[in-house]
Amino acid sequence: MNIAVVGLGIIGGSFCKAIKKYTDHRVIGINRTKSTAEKALKEGAIDEIGTHESLENADLIILSMYPQAVVDYVSRYGEYIKKGAVVTDVSGIKRAICPQMTELSEKFGFVFAGSHPMAGKETNGFDVSDADLYKNASYIIVPCNAGDSVVNMLSDFAKSIGFGTVKITTPEEHDRMIAFTSQLPHVLACSYVLSPCCPNHKGFSAGSYRDVSRVANINSTLWSELFLENKDPLISELDILIENITKIKDAIKAEDTDALKALLEKGREVKQALGE
């Protein structure tokens, strides 16, 4: 296939590098900053530096952009996408963009299926992209009215570049689960490091500090958009977290050993039952 990757940050850049390393597909790289595209070409991550006009040559288009930027880009350049091409995104939310992208696909004649690679790093940009970033990671497909043939194609493509698991779901389930597995930990990490103790942690911290604080190194612009676009599921998860923290706090405050042990034991049992 001719594959156009729009946005050559860590996610888009890693797609390019993985495609070139593990497949024979041809990669067209499109990026707002020309110097980044030139670097990708020099490193062999892409075969061609493209523009919006290059979209007419692509069989598969991967939009590696912020959620609303995905919609805005296709609204502006959708006329260049060839009829029948498959367009997918990498966004961390789906309810907010699936209806808009489905409408645009009907207008311009391409096929849209949402996707979400469950991989990343604490740092961003093409320089930290990696051909093996997706090794054994989960690839979520949200069909958004796309047929089985498109879903199967995306699934086969994902596995060909290293993904180990493919999950097919609805926009609603995707956003609900991502609120728990991804967004909530970022809220927790940021809240945790806002403690006045944090600047003095060195010498007092080890693995627990690193595990909880790791994702506080956050892209505030992107994650603010993700949080607000997924407001209701995230608030629901925050309410559950606050309730559970409050129960533990109240047990400590009351010096209620039995209640505290029961809460901690329940958490241990849940985690142990998952076999992780």
Q: Tell me the CATH number at 142.
A: 3.40.50.720
Say yes or no: 141 and 213 in one domain.
no
Contact 13, 40 (CB under 8 A): yes
CB burial class (10 A; 0-12, 13-18, 19+) of residue 194? exposed
Say yes or no: 124 and 203 in one domain.
no
In which domain, by residue range, is 22 found? 2-169
Ranges assigned E (strand) in the chain: 2-6, 26-30, 48-49, 60-63, 86-89, 111-112, 114-118, 138-142, 165-168
Contact 111, 84 (CB under 8 A): yes
Nearest to 98 by CA among 39, 173, 31, 28: 173
Contact 118, 139 (CB under 8 A): yes
Share above pLDDT 90 across residues of the chain, in percent, rounded to a whole number: 97
Say yes or no: 23 and 129 in one domain.
yes
pLDDT digit string, tens, across residues 127-138: 999 999 999 999
Q: Tell me the CATH number at 266.
A: 1.10.3660.10
Contacts of 160 by beta carbon, 8 Å cutoff, 6+ apart:
22, 23
The pLDDT of residue 86 is 98
> Residue 88, SS3?
strand
Contacts of 191 by beta carbon, 8 Å cutoff, 6+ apart:
none
The pLDDT of residue 96 is 93
pLDDT averaged over the chain?
97
For 164-174, what is the mean pLDDT? Answer: 97
The pLDDT of residue 234 is 98
Contact 61, 4 (CB under 8 A): yes
The pLDDT of residue 100 is 97
pLDDT digit string, tens, across residues 72-81: 999 999 999 9
Would you say residue 44 has pLDDT above 90? yes
CB burial class (10 A; 0-12, 13-18, 19+) of residue 203? exposed
The pLDDT of residue 121 is 82
Query: Which of 154, 169, 184 is the endpoint of a domain?
Result: 169
- Joined tokens for residue 60: 């598969």
> Residue 189, SS3?
helix
Say yes or no: 110 and 157 in one domain.
yes
Query: Which of 141, 169, 197 is the endpoint of a domain?
Result: 169
Say yes or no: 106 and 239 in one domain.
no
Whole-angstrom distance, CA of residue 125 vs CA of residue 222: 13
Say yes or no: 74 and 87 in one domain.
yes
Query: Which of 139, 169, 199 is the endpoint of a domain?
Result: 169
Would you say residue 196 has pLDDT above 90? yes
The pLDDT of residue 62 is 98
The pLDDT of residue 186 is 96
Q: Which residue has the tokens 């597995």?
A: 181
pLDDT digit string, tens, across residues 222-261: 999 999 999 999 999 999 999 999 999 999 999 999 999 9
The pLDDT of residue 276 is 82
- Joined tokens for residue 206: 């080890």
Contacts of 148 by beta carbon, 8 Å cutoff, 6+ apart:
none
Whole-angstrom distance, CA of residue 88 vs CA of residue 154: 9
Say yes or no: 23 and 156 in one domain.
yes
Per the structure, the count of domains in the chain is: 2
pLDDT digit string, tens, across residues 92-131: 999 999 999 999 999 999 999 999 999 988 788 999 999 9
Whole-angstrom distance, CA of residue 41 vs CA of residue 2: 15
pTM above 0.85, yes or no: yes
